[in-house]
Structure 1
Amino acid sequence: MLDLSALPDPYPIVPAPGPLDVDVRVPGSKSVTNRALVCAALATGTSRLTGALFADDTEAMVGALRAVGLEVSTDEAAAEITVTGGAGSLPSTDEPIDVRQSGTTARFVPPLLALGRGAYRVTAHPQMQLRPMGTTFGALRDLGAGIEEQGPAGHLPATVSGGGLRSGVVRVPGDASSQFLSGLLLVAPCLPDGLVVELTTDLVSRPYVELTIAVMAAFGATVEQPDPRTFAVAPGGYTARTYAVEPDASAASYPLAAAAICGGRVRVLGLTEQALQGDVAFADVLGAMGATVTRDDVGTEVRAERGSLTGGTFDLTHFSDTAQTLAVVAPFASSPVSVTGIGFIRRKEIDRIEAVATELARCGIEVAIDADGWTIRPGTPRPTVVQTSDDHRMAMSFALLGLAVPGIAIAEPGCVAKTFPRYWDLPIFGLAPDAASGAAAPTA
């Protein structure tokens, strides 16, 4: 594994010498790992997560569970995490609970703490402090928890006082982030009479909520949906189990996109046709643009001829974490690519709509922004240093440009540690001229 702290900054990307022909493995799903960690933390008994992701976001969740006194053991070499659950509650602690830059941890931990028996101080990285938390805080107050912000209302840091969370009906908007809804659903089985959550607006990123419900069900919880805006969670808590985390579909978008850009074949092992994550739909977008997509019980594969992609309009409302990946594929299409349904990603780690437009323009690519996304025109990216603003998805997506054209370098390459610490070890990078096909290997 490359030492991220020792990488040159900016980090030059070596163009692929020819069509790709590789099988790759990506880490376990961040979304699944953090949801399973919450279920395991609330379960009765000891759970074991296999194939778990080890990255900043999941380490933030593990750190939060340890900070409140739960027993969590990790084996990074085996990709396993073992959690002894608190049977629906948490001990009190005076330790601050740092959610770092992790959006899932920030949105899942306060509801979890509201089940506990103390006042918990929640801190965050300055970047995370800028992201909204008001939906979660308002819902928890409605259910009887105490929330005291230490700065601007609706933002971290804050103190969460547990001990009185009650059942009932709570109403939240669905068009800000699905993480707010998922955080409430995850704790709902541990309330005396469960919980009903009603959405006041249509839900964005619905597949992430369906993923939450699937992980909850694996630990024994029941969620009913009498209509698209209502979620009724039965009481009963969680039962510990061994749970296998599937590969991360968002992470898989990068090597799959590399095949579409560079030509050739890339298969992501383990991301099978049974995958739960909504981001698997990214491969279908590549298929609509002219690539050949195959899914089976081994993995997901994309094949393409370089220069064969066509444009189109694509709604990424429900798999927005792949929007930046599609944005860097777009210049290589034969006609413009419009991405819609992603206005809410302005409120992610950074304003991702503005950041993508700025960096593509730096590369000489024409981009038109609208309220809901972008339209990107075909073009040949020119040499430049891409500014990532410490956003892992900016680094991972824009690096793909450098596989197709020379002169692309990535600022702050270490930011990939947030979700994919081994990203630069993928065999699509640093290919030697005689390794463009077959068992390609990184030279760095």
Structure 2
Amino acid sequence: MPSPDWHAPAVHERIEALVTLPGSKSLTNRFLVLAALANGTSRLRRPLRSRDTLLMAEALRSLGAGIDDGTTDSAGADWIVTPASLRGGGTVDCGLAGTVMRFLPPVAALCDGPVVFDGDEQARVRPMGPVLDALRILGATIDDGGRGTLPFTVHGAGSVPGGEVAIDASASSQFVSALLLAGPRYEQGVTVRHVGPPVPSEPHIEMTVETLRDAGAIVDDGEPDTWRVEPSEINALDVQVEPDLSNAAPFLAAALVTGGQVTVPGWPQHTTQAGDAIRDILDAMGADVSLTREGLTVTGTGDVSGVDVDLHDASELTPVVAAIAALADSPTVIRGVAHIRGHETDRLAALSRELGALGSDVHETDDGLHIRPRPLTGGTFHTYSDHRMVMAAAVLGLRVPGVVVENVGTVAKTLPTFVELWDGMLGGSGHPARTADAASA
């Protein structure tokens, strides 16, 4: 059910805040999958609690894993994952989570019976064909009525032969990651060869490879567009989840567009998160950016410049970058993101429509957006059940009074405490914004 609309607050003074963010959705869900397939009990420290990660945890419980998320103690508690024999007979609710609908069918193929997958209405148009077809080649039986989308049934047989498969992953890097995560448990392991246009968001595959190696899997990624996972046990994990760097983007953008300063503590010195690209983007758009052991600090200089940027590897940043671009003093070209037409919504069409409705001159290109800044006015900003659209609208609202964000609750997909954190940042005047853990305790 849609949530109430939200009047995005405008500010007329310099923001100065410390914003502590919860863990990465991408890492939390990868760690959950590996922990459910591991040879012992795992501990995930500072995981993200959001709709996507809670859907993943519940789905893995339905497949047999024990997951204690500590909700009776504290929202900041560790998650304890105890693997068990994988069982069929249940239904997986994917919601709108691409990681659930794509990462879990290869796991379900290892179950001892059928597993039904379905999700939100918008999820039923997201492409699934490449990963389902690949699983058939590797030995799994799947009934999707020939649609290549939700709903479908994976008929688990207790084991999967595995082997080599060629797929076109140009629509989503998640197709590759899905096969690799379950690959160590397949009898012959898995070799995935990508054939087609360049894979988008390739850092997410690097993240998958790194998490597999953290769990003791042997992964060979030395050949371009080819990944080989050897059959092996998956070791139990004891890991701390990095802050979600993509979720940090709107808060850091606030510093740029208001001429203020925002620090996100715990920013990793080395990471496979694609959201780390926001550092260079904000620098190019006029901010001073400093990474220290304490965290990442972005300081606005009073200038917001347009850019020509390829976001192929960090496409989840597109909505926030587009919002900044609409507030800049020169045009922006965003390239390399044709694939986000198949995300939670058609993000290119949505951004063009909503920015245009506020007064910006926005044109879709074959693979992105061309944004020419114009004076903006307030109005309703439709979000299309897309969490990133909420974040983009919040950035715009800082400088454009009267922006009303439709269905703000959809941001719970990756950051349920977004509004609390946003209000805390704006009320800061040098005082820290509440952490996500404190806001949801």
TM bucket normalised to smaller: over 0.9
Identify which of 211, 223, 236 aligns with 2:219. Answer: 223
Structure 2 counterparts to residues 18-417 of structure 1, below 5 A: 18-76=13-71, 77-86=75-84, 90-149=85-144, 153-163=147-157, 164-201=159-196, 202-306=198-302, 308-417=303-412
Alpha-carbon distance in 1 for matches of 2:433, 2:87? 49
Structure 1 residue runs of 5 or longer lacking an equivalent are none
Aligned length: 430
Alpha-carbon distance in 1 for matches of 2:403, 2:111? 49
Tell me how far 1:429 sits from its aligned partner: 5.8
Alpha-carbon distance in 2 for matches of 1:299, 1:79? 22
Do the aligned residues in 2 keep the contact of 1:60 with 1:98 (CA within 8 Å)? yes
Tell me how far 1:340 sits from its aligned partner: 0.2
Do the aligned residues in 2 keep the contact of 1:16 with 1:429 (CA within 8 Å)? no
Give secondary structure in 2 for the equivalent of 1:32. helix
Identify which of 10, 35, 59 aligns with 1:15. Answer: 10
Structure 1 residues 79 and 179: CA distance shift in structure 2, 3 A: farther
Give secondary structure in 1 for the equivalent of 2:220. strand
Name whichever of 97-106 and 342-351 sits farther off: 97-106
Alpha-carbon distance in 2 for matches of 1:303, 1:241? 37
Alignment deviations for residues 141-200 of structure 1 (CA, whole Å, 9 cap, x no partner): 001100001x55101111101224113110111311000100000011112232111110
Name whichever of 180-189 and 121-130 sits farther off: 121-130
Report the AA paired with residue 190 of structure 1.
Answer: R
Alpha-carbon distance in 1 for matches of 2:18, 2:335? 31
Do the aligned residues in 2 keep the contact of 1:315 with 1:340 (CA within 8 Å)? yes
Give secondary structure in 1 for the equivalent of 2:227. strand
Report the AA paired with residue 183 of structure 2.
Answer: A
User: What's the counterpart of residue 431 of structure 2?
Assistant: 439
Alpha-carbon distance in 2 for matches of 1:269, 1:152? 47
Alignment deviations for residues 329-352 of structure 1 (CA, whole Å, 9 cap, x no partner): 002222101000000000001100
Structure 1 residues 441 and 207: CA distance shift in structure 2, 3 A: closer
Report the AA paired with residue 277 of structure 1.
Answer: Q
Alpha-carbon distance in 2 for matches of 1:412, 1:53? 21
Do the aligned residues in 1 keep the contact of 2:251 with 2:422 (CA within 8 Å)? no
Name the TM-score, length of structure 2 as normaliser: 0.94
Name whichever of 251-260 and 372-381 sits farther off: 372-381
Alignment deviations for residues 10-64 of structure 1 (CA, whole Å, 9 cap, x no partner): 2112212311111101121000000000100000010010110101100110011
Name the TM-score, length of structure 1 as normaliser: 0.93
Structure 1 residues 440 and 70: CA distance shift in structure 2, 3 A: closer
Name whichever of 30-39 and 77-86 sits farther off: 77-86
Give secondary structure in 1 for the equivalent of 2:263. strand
Do the aligned residues in 1 keep the contact of 2:290 with 2:297 (CA within 8 Å)? yes
Alpha-carbon distance in 2 for matches of 1:27, 1:431? 19
Structure 1 residues 292 and 96: CA distance shift in structure 2, 3 A: same
Report the AA paired with residue 33 of structure 1.
Answer: T
Report the AA paired with residue 267 of structure 2.
Answer: L
Alpha-carbon distance in 2 for matches of 1:322, 1:230? 26
Report the AA paired with residue 250 of structure 1.
Answer: S
* RMSD of aligned alpha carbons: 1.8
Identity %: 38
Structure 1 residues 328 and 267: CA distance shift in structure 2, 3 A: same
Alpha-carbon distance in 2 for matches of 1:183, 1:141? 14
Alpha-carbon distance in 1 for matches of 2:46, 2:277? 22
Alpha-carbon distance in 2 for matches of 1:92, 1:13? 45
Do the aligned residues in 1 keep the contact of 2:246 with 2:274 (CA within 8 Å)? no
